[in-house]
């Protein structure tokens, strides 16, 4: 039997604090206290441990430090996103903090419940300019929840998926960090294989030592980007051809995050235009780059039936052995900053593929890049595999979540089935848990 309650029957709830005006006063930032924003909540998996801003002592004094284990709920901008703090942190009043009452609610279950009703929360928050959900609206909504012990079972079952997703995500992060460190060692610090016996020259062509600023190894050349990478713009679809479902998914700038490809999309097409270039049909490991908004975001595609839309570019190395080098080169902060400076636009920044292609950078000898590719290719092959595993895990969790939360599927029955059939969620993430 489900219990009819309000959110504040399940725990203590309150808005974040950021009293100082203006909120972007630089005197508040740059200290040791994590300051969580709505975008950080949206980007988090289950537990939130990464953030983009910090408060100093002044910032903390006009805010509040919430404890690890607090459930965060966004009520402005991106409505209804949730994450559980994996650290002590501050956050503004665009985020609500929830702390479970002991033996009344399981914090993980409450998170899953709010994920279950997210679309309803968005609907009651729709505004004329920017969506906003008041705390009063959130607290006035009736919730129909399980008893505490059933909450624990449901939360534990669903969290098994999120734990596997988190483990895979950490492996992805480690593999990328390993590849990035090798890239920095070889191409930034110039300690590539054989550098000890390589001659180095300055801009005037005079031989210099390895540690000299702007030293260039013998055989390396400054070349424009388009000499080794084809920059392919996405297809300019007409918006009237979009649909909410279809056989092909359109990739826009929303799908391109820093090092992460967002597989969900809202725009589909049923048929491929006859004049669509094959390069706009995306496949695993294709490198794509955002040309507007947050300029220079880059990621690798994973999945099927994705079509490249305008405002996103595909970077296609002219040599297969340049793939890993190209991805990490564009992911480098220095190049990202260069692209941002190159972009222009009165209302929104825009990056021209033609102008980007003219930028010159030191390019190593082919044999060095080939060695780098052989060393790091397996890292990125494994990353794509892990992303696909996570996608299957997410799909299965998202299939089970509404049925368990609504009570249509008994968690006891489900757990018995898992035990009887000896189902391993790690090995069989796509298992179909259907009941009669």
Instruction: Note the pLDDT tens digit of each residue in 308-341.
Output: 999 999 999 999 999 999 999 999 888 888 888 8
Overall average pLDDT of the 226-242 stretch: 91
Assigned CATH topology for domain 221-363: Adenine-n6-DNA-methyltransferase TaqI; Chain A, domain 2 (3.90.220)
Scanning the structure block, which residue is given the tokens 């941002």?
Answer: 340
Assigned CATH topology for domain 3-145: Adenine-n6-DNA-methyltransferase TaqI; Chain A, domain 2 (3.90.220)
Task: End-to-end CA distance of the chain: give it in Å, rounded.
Answer: 19
Cross-strand bridge partners of residue 250? 307
How would DSSP label each residue in 219-276? T-EEEEGGGTEEEEEPB---GGG-BSS-SEEEE-GGGEETTEE----S-EESS--TT-
In 3D space, the residue among 321, 365, 72, 58 whose CA is nearest the CA of residue 220 turns out to be 365
Query: Which secondary-structure segment (H or E) carries 300?
Result: strand 298-300
Distances (CA, A) of 23 to 61, 75, 78, 83: 13, 18, 19, 23
Q: What is the pLDDT of residue 140?
A: 92
Q: How confident is the model at residue 131 (pLDDT cuts 50, 70, 90)?
A: low
Mean pLDDT value across the chain: 91
Q: What is the pLDDT of residue 214?
A: 85
Report how far residue 60's alpha carbon sits from residue 20's, in angstroms, rounded to the nearest whole number.
Answer: 10
Q: How confident is the model at residue 434 (pLDDT cuts 50, 70, 90)?
A: very low
Overall average pLDDT of the 9-14 stretch: 97
Contacts of 332 (CB under 8 A, 6+ apart): 183, 188
How many percent of the chain have pLDDT more than 90? Answer: 73
In 3D space, the residue among 167, 223, 163 whose CA is nearest the CA of residue 369 turns out to be 223
Q: What is the pLDDT of residue 212?
A: 87
Please check whether residue 53 is in contact with residue 94, taking contact to mean a CB–CB distance below 8 angstroms. no
92-101, 119-128, 225-234 — which is least confidently predicted?
Answer: 119-128
In 3D space, the residue among 82, 152, 103, 138 whose CA is nearest the CA of residue 404 turns out to be 152
Chain-centroid distance, C-alpha 296: 15
Residue of 388 and 350 predicted with greater confidence: 388
**In the predicted structure, residue 154 carries a pLDDT above the cut 70:** yes
Q: What is the pLDDT of residue 407?
A: 92
Q: What is the pLDDT of residue 299?
A: 95
**In the predicted structure, residue 14 carries a pLDDT above the cut 60:** yes
Overall average pLDDT of the 207-228 stretch: 92
Q: What is the pLDDT of residue 128?
A: 46
Assign 24 to helix, strand or coil: coil
Report how far residue 347's alpha carbon sits from residue 220's, in angstroms, rounded to the nearest whole number.
Answer: 39
Kindly tell me the burial class for residue 23, based on how many C-beta atoms sit within 10 Å of its own C-beta (0-12, 13-18, 19 or more). Answer: exposed
Assign 54 to helix, strand or coil: strand
Please check whether residue 95 is in contact with residue 138, taking contact to mean a CB–CB distance below 8 angstroms. no
Overall average pLDDT of the 396-418 stretch: 89
In 3D space, the residue among 98, 64, 96 whose CA is nearest the CA of residue 80 turns out to be 96
How many percent of the chain have pLDDT more than 70? Answer: 93
Backbone Cα Rg of the chain: 25
Cross-strand bridge partners of residue 229? 317
Angle at 321 between CA 330 and CA 368, to 5 degrees: 85
How would DSSP label each residue in 67-109? PTTPEEEE-BSSTT-EEEESS-BB--TTEEEEEEPTTT--HHH
Q: What is the pLDDT of residue 238?
A: 85
Q: How confident is the model at residue 78 (pLDDT cuts 50, 70, 90)?
A: confident
Report how far residue 36's alpha carbon sits from residue 56's, in angstroms, rounded to the nearest whole number.
Answer: 13
């Amino acid at each position: 039997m489900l219990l009819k309650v309000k959110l504040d029957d399940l725990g203590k709830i309150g808005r974040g604090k950021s009293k100082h005006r203006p909120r972007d006063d630089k005197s508040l930032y740059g200290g040791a206290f994590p300051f969580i924003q709505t975008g950080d909540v949206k980007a988090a998996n289950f537990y939130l441990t990464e953030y983009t801003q910090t408060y100093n002592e002044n910032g903390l004094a006009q805010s509040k430090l919430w404890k690890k284990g607090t459930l965060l709920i966004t009520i402005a901008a991106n409505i209804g996103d949730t994450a559980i703090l994996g650290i002590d942190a501050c956050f503004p009043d665009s985020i609500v903090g929830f702390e479970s009452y002991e033996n009344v609610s399981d914090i993980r279950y409450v998170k899953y419940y709010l994920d279950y009703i997210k679309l309803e929360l968005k609907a009651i928050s729709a505004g004329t300019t920017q969506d906003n959900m008041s705390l009063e609206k959130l607290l006035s909504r009736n919730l129909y929840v399980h008893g505490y012990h059933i909450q624990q079972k449901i939360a534990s079952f669903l969290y098994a998926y999120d734990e596997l997703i988190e483990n895979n995500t950490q492996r992805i992060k480690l593999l990328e960090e390993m590849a990035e460190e090798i890239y920095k060692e070889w191409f930034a610090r110039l300690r590539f294989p054989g550098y000890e016996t390589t001659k180095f020259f300055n801009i005037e062509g005079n031989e210099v030592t390895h540690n000299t600023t702007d030293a260039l190894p013998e055989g390396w050349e400054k070349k424009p980007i388009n000499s080794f990478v084809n920059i392919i713009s996405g297809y300019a679809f007409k918006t009237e051809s979009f649909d909410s479902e279809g056989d092909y998914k359109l990739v826009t700038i929303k799908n391109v995050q820093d090092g992460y490809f967002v597989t969900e999309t809202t725009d589909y097409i049923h048929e491929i235009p006859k004049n669509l270039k094959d390069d706009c049909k995306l496949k695993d490991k294709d490198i794509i780059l955002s040309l507007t908004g947050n300029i220079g975001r880059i990621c690798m595609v994973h999945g099927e039936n994705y079509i490249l839309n305008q405002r996103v570019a595909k970077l296609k190395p002219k040599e297969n052995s340049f793939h890993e080098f190209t991805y990490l080169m564009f992911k480098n902060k220095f190049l990202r900053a260069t692209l941002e400076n190159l972009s222009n636009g009165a209302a929104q920044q825009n990056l021209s593929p033609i102008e980007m292609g003219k930028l010159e950078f030191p390019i190593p000898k082919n044999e060095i890049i080939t060695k780098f590719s052989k060393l790091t290719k397996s890292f990125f092959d494994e990353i794509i595999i892990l992303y696909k595993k996570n996608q299957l895990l997410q799909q299965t969790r998202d299939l089970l979540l509404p049925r368990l939360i609504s009570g249509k599927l008994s968690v006891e029955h489900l757990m018995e089935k898992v035990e009887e059939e000896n189902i391993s969620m790690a090995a069989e993430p796509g298992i179909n848990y259907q009941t009669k």
